[in-house]
Amino acid sequence: MTTALASLAVAQDRQGGPSPLALKAGAGIVLFALWEITVRALAPEYVARPSGIAKVFFSVLTDAGFLEVAAATLRAVVQGLAISVVAGTAVGLMMGRVSVVEHGLRYYVNSLFATPMVAILPLVTLWFGYSADTRLAVVVFASFFSLAINAADGARSVPPEFLEVARSFRARPLSTIFDVLLPSSLPYLLAGLRLAAGRALVGAVVAEFFVSIPGLGYYILYNSRAFKHNEAFVAVIVLVAAGVGFEASIKWLMRRYMPWSRRG
C-alpha cells in the first residue's frame, strides 16, 4: 500500500516536471556546450571539441583506412573473447565442480585476475613480437580470468537437485554438462562476459599503443601526435559505442531470455 502511494507520488512529481527524455537531452546539450566553451576559452586550436569532431565525423567514418583499422581492433576483441569464452568456461566449470581442480588452480586464476593487464605487455611482446598476435594474446589474458571466475561461481551455484535428477536418469557426463551445468550457470557466464568485454577492449587498445600495430588505439596515438585530435576522437567514439553496445546487448539478452536471474 505504502509502495503504491509512494510510486503514485513519484509519478505525480514526474508529471509536474519535464519528462526524463527532455532532461537527458538537456543535460547532453549542457555538457557538450560546457566542453565546447572550455576548450575554446582555454585550450589550443588542435584540442578536440564537439564542433570540430562533428565536422570530421562523417569523413572519418566513411574513410576506408579508418574502417579497416576499426575492423582490425574489433575483430581482435571478438576473436580473443571467443577464445576466452570457450577456454574460460571449460576451466571455470571444472573449477566449480571438481574440488581438486579448484584448489589446484584457485590461486593462479585469482592472482592473474587481479594483475593489471598492462603490466604483462612487455612480456607478451617478448613472446609474440611486434605483431597482431600480441594484441590477441593481451585480449585473451584480459578476458580469460573474469570468465573463468564467473563460470566457476555459476557451476558452484547449480542446485544439487538438478544434478541428482540428471544422475537418477543416468544422464551421460557430456549431457549433464551441456543440458544441466551450462544452462544453469548461463547468467553467471553472461555477467562474466560483460566484465570481460570491457577489459578486452582496454587490452586491445593498450596492446596497440605498445606495439604500434594498425587499429583504433594506434589510430588515436598517431593522430593525437599529429595534433589531429578531432579525428582521433572519432576513434574514441567508436570504442565507446562498441563498449556501450556490448554492455547493452548483454543486458538485453539477460532480461529477454533470463528474466529470473537478478545478476548485474
Report the C-alpha gap between 174 and 177 in whole angstroms: 5
Residue number, 29 or 165, with CB nearest to other proteins: 29
Task: Tell me if 210 contacts other proteins by CB under 8 A.
Answer: yes
Residue number, 171 or 263, with CB nearest to other proteins: 263
Task: Tell me if 48 contacts other proteins by CB under 8 A.
Answer: yes
Site residues (CB under 8 A) for other proteins, limited to 64-123: 99-100, 103-108, 110-123
Per CB under 8 A, which region of 55-63, 79-87, 181-189, 200-208 contacts other proteins? Answer: 200-208
141 close to 203: Cβ distance less than 8 angstroms: yes
Task: Tell me if 255 contacts other proteins by CB under 8 A.
Answer: no
Task: Tell me if 227 contacts other proteins by CB under 8 A.
Answer: yes
Total residues binding other proteins (CB under 8 A): 70
Rounded to 5°, angle at Cα 96 from 92 and 102: 85
Which residue of 94, 193, 232, 234 would you call a contact of other proteins, by CB under 8 A?
232
Report the C-alpha gap between 255 and 124 in whole angstroms: 38
**Which residues lie closer than 8 Å to 105 by C-beta, 6 or more apart?**
91, 95
Task: Tell me if 40 contacts other proteins by CB under 8 A.
Answer: no
Rounded to 5°, angle at Cα 144 from 93 and 260: 55
Task: Tell me if 54 contacts other proteins by CB under 8 A.
Answer: no
Residue number, 27 or 82, with CB nearest to other proteins: 27
Between the CA of residue 43 and those of 29, 37, 46, 50, 216, what are the distances in Å?
Answer: 20, 10, 8, 13, 25
Dihedral, 39, 40, 42, 44 alpha carbons, nearest 10: 90
Residue number, 69 or 232, with CB nearest to other proteins: 232
Task: Tell me if 216 contacts other proteins by CB under 8 A.
Answer: yes
